[in-house]
Amino acid sequence: MKPDDVESGDSVKLGHPVTVSRYTLAARINHWITAISLVLLAISGLSLFTPKLFFLTALFGGGQATRAIHPWIGVVLFVSFSILFIRFWRANLWKSEDGTWLTRVRDVLLGHEERLPELGKYNAGQKFVFWAMSLLIIVLIASGIVVWETYFGTATSINTQRIAIIVHSLAAVAIICVWIIHVYAAIWVKGTMSAMTSGEVTGGWAWRHHRKWLRELVAGKRAGGTPAE
């Protein structure tokens, strides 16, 4: 049985330099569909949220078109992230080293990674983003359905819809903040962005940032099989 940190497609490729397959093509496509959907939802949602940003509706064909398209993009986001969740939830389970990582977050910011514990495929910050996204997307799709007048307008009362739109707006602001943290962290840790474009990282990168995960992959390879199997 493979460790929780090892996902389908993870493997070590010997060479000069050693490379590590971190994300499959399917996982990368899944990620970028989710990311693009979230950005489109943020832009269209903000354009409907305040008159000062209404000019952004021009990107979607005007106000009425934006109002019609916005919830459908939400459906795409929900379906895409659901698939992403199934792919990655096990590797995002909390481990004892994650608590240690959090207590030493100052060393993370200062780049003193030699003082950090050995980590699996994801660190505590990445896991926070994953679970925060999971919760907020559920809140967004649930509250969004309540205020989707075209199909569900008569299913709930006006007061319920008013509460739902407030909840929806607050969750949208929260998920935009989480997304900003995610993007900033990806840029901050050199090599993270390329991992989600090429699917691979160097052995040195894996050793520096996710040593426990690399050890598990190498152990699986030495055992005579690929860890992903």
Q: Rounded to whole angstroms, how far apart are CA atoms 5 and 120?
A: 6
In this prediction, residues 62-72 reach a mean pLDDT of 96
Q: Which CATH superfamily is domain 11-222 in?
A: Transmembrane di-heme cytochromes, Chain C (1.20.950.20)
> Quick one: how far is CA 28 from the chain centroid?
11
Q: Rounded to whole angstroms, how far apart are CA atoms 194 and 191?
A: 5
Tell me the Cα Rg of the chain.
20
HEC string of 33-74 equals: HHHHHHHHHHHHHHHHHCHHHHHHHHHHCCHHHHHHHHHHHH
Query: What pLDDT digit, counting tens, does each position of 11-25 carry?
Result: 998 888 899 999 999
Query: What pLDDT digit, counting tens, does each position of 69-103 carry?
Result: 999 999 999 999 999 999 999 999 999 999 999 99
Catalytic amino acids?
A: 182
- Residue 48 is which amino acid? L
Query: Domain residues of the chain, as ranges?
Result: 11-222
- Concatenated DSSP letters of 191-205: THHHHHHHSEEEHHH
Q: Is the pLDDT of residue 222 over 60?
A: no
Q: At residue 56, what are phi and psi to the nearest 5 degrees? A: -70, -15
Catalogue the E-assigned strands of the chain: 11-13, 19-21, 200-202
Contact, 159 vs 22, CB < 8 A? no
In this prediction, residues 146-169 reach a mean pLDDT of 94
Q: Is the pLDDT of residue 226 over 50?
A: no
Residues recorded for the chain: 229
Q: Among 1-10, 32-41, 134-143, which stretch is predicted with the lowest mean pLDDT?
A: 1-10
Q: How many other β-carbons are positioned within 10 Å of the β-carbon of residue 140?
A: 23
C-alpha dist (Å) from residue 197 to 13, 129, 227: 18, 19, 22
